[in-house]
């Protein structure tokens, strides 16, 4: 068994997704890994649920087309709920060996006030975590 056969890649529908996918493509190619794309629909009202789920499906489809177009084995998962909790639960349920996610580069004060999905995942999952600092995508 290879070190990382299944990589869970968390998307959030922002430009940092492209930067994350740049790095994941390199890693998945080197390892011959399957990429599992996860986008969590996070909503607070019934009215926003449909729009958020549609946006999440679109994000997953774009990322899957990008990776699939480059020959990667790709699976998609649409989660619902609190992103950090869903990421941890899906990593366990899907049996991945690595979680890859991007950060937005918030400062320490923003992390203290808003919390951090990456920090939650780091503390609540035993799966290794690759955190990519958000930056402009290269392609």
Q: What is the pLDDT, as a whole number, of residue 136?
A: 53
Tell me the pLDDT tens digit for each residue of 20-56: 999 999 999 999 999 999 999 998 888 889 999 999 9
**Residue 90 maps to which CATH number?**
3.40.50.620
DSSP β-ladder status, 74-80 and 34-41: parallel
Query: Which residues of the chain carry a pLDDT beneath 70?
Result: 1-2, 105-115, 135-139
Joined together, the tokens standing for residue 121 give 């995942």
- 138 in a domain, yes or no? no
Q: Which of 35, 33, 34, 30 lies closest to 11 in space, CA to CA?
A: 35
- 76 in a domain, yes or no? no
Q: Say how far apart CA 21 and CA 60 lie, in whole Å.
A: 12
* Domain span holding position 116: 9-69+83-133
- 102 in a domain, yes or no? yes
Number of domains in the chain: 1
The model's pTM is 0.88
Joined together, the tokens standing for residue 66 give 């990008």
- 2 in a domain, yes or no? no
Q: Directed axis angle between helix 117-124 and helix 83-94, to 10°?
A: 40
């Amino acid at each position: 068994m290879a070190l990382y056969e299944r990589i869970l890649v968390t998307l959030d529908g922002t430009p940092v997704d492209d930067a994350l996918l740049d790095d994941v493509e390199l890693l998945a190619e080197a390892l011959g890994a399957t990429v599992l794309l996860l986008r969590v629909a996070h909503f607070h009202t019934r009215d926003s649920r449909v729009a958020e789920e549609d946006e999440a499906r679109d994000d997953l489809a774009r990322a899957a087309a990008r990776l699939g177009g480059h020959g990667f084995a790709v699976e998609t998962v649409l989660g619902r709920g609190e992103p950090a909790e869903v990421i941890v639960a899906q990593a366990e349920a899907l049996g991945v060996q690595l979680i890859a996610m991007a950060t937005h580069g918030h400062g320490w004060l923003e992390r203290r006030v808003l919390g951090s999905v990456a920090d939650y995942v780091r503390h609540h999952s035993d799966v290794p975590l690759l955190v990519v600092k958000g930056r402009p995508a290269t392609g």
